[in-house]
Chains A and B, each alone.
Chain A
Amino acid sequence: MTVAVVGIGRTEYLKRSGRTTKAMAASACRDALADAGLTIADVDGMCTFQANDSSSPMDVAWALGRDELAWANSMYGGGNLVADQIATAAAVIEAGLCKAVLVYRSLNGRSGYRFGTIEGPMQVTGENQYDVASGYLVPPQWFAMSARRHQYRYGSTCEDLGQIAITQRAHAVPNEHAFYREPLTMDDYLSSRWINEPFHLYDCTSEVDGAVAILLVGEDMVRDCKTEPVWLVGSSNSQSGAGWSSWDDPTEMYSRTAGPKIWANTGLNPSDMDFACMYDCFTYTVMATMEGFGFCEKGQVGPFFAEGRATYGGDIVINPHGGLLSEGYIHGLNHHYESTLQLRGNAGVRQVADAKVALVTAGGGPYGGANIYSKERP
């Protein structure tokens, strides 16, 4: 059975929500249901991904007035799981286990638990324990380490990373939902403080409080919805246990596998994409994955952005909403909100002309995946 996104919902993205993750998730889910013209009674599955920082599908369903769910899945992890969440929700529908699934992500990412904020005495278990003495325990360090290797091997520069930050910020300027909307210049970028060299402040995503919900249904339910469906064409996924030290080549990411795989799965290629929402926890993630998904040769992403090929009027619009870097870090699920809005033709002043097909990626480093959505039924 073919599966489509029929509803999207979200809260505001704020510094301090003053709400529970459950309440925000429920709001975003209500929003998505209203968008689709369905009710919670139509939904029999819910899933999310979290890092012990959110509310469970059962609790959110209960808050929405649903007593029981046929499928209530909560995966532990980060943005590497978003594509997998969408693909798995679709597979659950295709397998007949559910008719309608809400995928949500809700977090107080700024006012609550923040990635990269560690208070001692932190007791580190598992694969990360070997990095305690260097304190190499937070994403802005892991990704910076990889970016340095890319600079060494391919001659990419901080200015190249800056071009990504600047372009995405320009996209966010007209986006009323974006957390950061002030235009950014290369001078602003280069004079911003170092976080971990080679990363400046503007290489890092904007943590916010908020929630997004995406409602997927099978083709049999599409006609019951009031929205134009956005069809899921295909997905790919590649998750490695190499961690940050044993991943053989940090100038590449999961996209070296998930990229070729999604093109093979769908029979499409990068030039078929009208826009792409590239997962951008950091600027470098966009750089390495645009190479991996085949949009650019190694080392050419900086010039690609600098020459205007990644924006309106260029080859492909990358992150028309401003991405996680400027719109806010709802852990990548806001990419799916944006791609749906664009493919419906409802993105207002930032609408990508004639947008029909889009790639949405998720994750960075050794783990991640991607989905392709289409306006046309596959």
Chain B
Amino acid sequence: MTDARLLPPIPVPDPESAGYWESLSTGVFALSRCTECHRWMQVPQEHCRWCGATTSFEEVSGRGTVFSFIVVRHQSIPSLTPPYVVGMIEFDEQPGLRLTGIIEADPDAVAIGQKVQAIIRPIGESGFSAPSFELVP
């Protein structure tokens, strides 16, 4: 039996995040977007944080830029074995629209400003999926 302490962290979906996780589980990377002013927001909000209108989840391109990154050398999260790269990705859809994810690349190959593409990966055997990123030329 797997030692429960070694399992990856998993999200606890709530009414504002459920659409995000449900989309990913069907292979679609979608973020929260205002139905009126059409601005994107991450984290998701029930109502737009700028204009107060309702929001919905809409698919994004998954294309973005490395805004910053770290090379994790010290294990503090079960299931992730260092070294690995965590990137903060800013998406092409909107300045400041960011999410973190594993960059599936050699640490020495990663730099701020590089272009990336999201790929959806399962979170262990939890049933959840989340975007990772690969470098694109």
Chain A residues with a Cβ under 8 A of chain B: 116-127, 129-138, 140-141, 144-146, 148-149, 152, 193-199, 243-246, 248, 250
Contact = CB atoms under 8 A, between A and B. Distances in A.
B39 to A, nearest CB: 12
Nearest to A251: B68
A134 B101 contact: yes
A203 B131 CA distance: 30
A121 B9 contact: yes
5 contacts: A122-B10, A130-B99, A141-B70, A149-B112, A245-B100
Which DSSP category, helix, strand, loop or mixed, fits chain A's interface?
mixed
A55 B59 CA distance: 46
A130 B20 contact: yes
A135 to B, nearest CB: 3
Centre residue among A117, A123, A126, A132 by max chain B CB count within 10 A: A132
Nearest to B3: A120
A120 B78 contact: yes
Given A120-B9, A141-B86, A197-B107, A133 B74 contact: no
A126 B16 CA distance: 9
A118 B43 contact: no
Contacts, number: 142
Closest 8 CB pairs of A and B: A135-B77, A133-B130, A129-B11, A194-B73, A120-B7, A197-B71, A121-B7, A122-B9
A100 B131 CA distance: 52
Given A120-B7, A135-B77, A140-B76, A152 B68 contact: yes
Given A138-B76, A196-B70, A243-B43, A120 B102 contact: no
A141 B80 CA distance: 14
Nearest to B79: A120
Contacts of B42: 130, 245-246
Given A124-B9, A197-B107, A135 B70 contact: no
A196 B10 CA distance: 22
B8 interface: yes
B12 A136 contact: no
A149 B68 contact: yes
A373 to B, nearest CB: 35
Centre residue among B5, B12, B68 by max chain A CB count within 10 A: B68
B76 A117 contact: yes
Contacts of B87: 134
Interface residues of B, number: 46
A148 B70 contact: yes
A196 B74 contact: yes
B73 A118 contact: no
Given A118-B78, A129-B17, A123 B12 contact: yes
A197 to B, nearest CB: 4
Interface in B4-24: 4-14, 17, 20
Given A120-B9, A152-B68, A196-B70, A132 B88 contact: no
Interface string B72-94: 11101111100000111000000
Contacts of A130: 11, 17, 20, 42-43, 99-100
Given A123-B10, A248-B96, 5 more contacts: A122-B9, A135-B80, A140-B74, A146-B68, A149-B67
Centre residue among A116, A138, A246 by max chain B CB count within 10 A: A246
Contacts of A244: 100
A123 B13 CA distance: 10
A67 to B, nearest CB: 39
B13 to A, nearest CB: 8
A131 B70 contact: no
Given A130-B20, A130-B42, A133-B130, A246 B96 contact: yes
Interface in B22-63: 42-43
B83 to A, nearest CB: 8
B78 to A, nearest CB: 4
Contacts of B43: 127, 130, 243, 246
A193 B4 contact: no
B73 A137 contact: no
B135 interface: no
A135 B10 contact: no
A299 to B, nearest CB: 16
